Amino acid sequence: MAITSSAKKAYRSSLKKRVFNVRRKQDMDTVVKKIKRLLAEKKIAEAQKLVPTAYKALDKAAKEHTIKKGAADRKKSRLVKLIARTK
């Protein structure tokens, strides 16, 4: 456990930030899972409609440093490639 007062404050702060990061990551993962589920069911048009939502979630996570910018770019690229391959 933290001993100094600054360490205690940093710990409280990290707990608050964790809530936002977990929520943001869940939003991101949920959209990607929906797209993959739709692709498995061969509903490509519906999956393509969700791509902007996925981009938004990934960009927000990168902007707030929940994930790195490169990771967000990589996930977006792989998602679009997956849709293209399924066509």
Write out pLDDT tens, residues 18-76. 999 999 999 999 999 999 999 999 999 999 999 999 999 999 999 999 999 999 999 99
What are residue 65's phi and psi, to 5 degrees? 65, 25
Taking alpha carbons only, the member of 79, 76, 75, 77 closest to residue 38 is 79
Q: Which structural domain, as residue segments, surrounds residue 69? A: 20-86
| Total domains present in the chain | 1
Q: Which residues are CB-contacts of 59 (< 8 A; sequence separation ≥ 6)?
A: 72
CATH number of the domain at 48, please: 1.20.58.110
Residue 47 maps to a domain: yes
Q: Predicted confidence band at 1 (pLDDT cuts at 50, 70, 90)?
A: confident
30 found inside a domain: yes
pTM of the predicted model as reported, rounded to 2 decimal places = 0.87
Q: At 5, is the secondary structure helix, strand, or coil?
A: helix
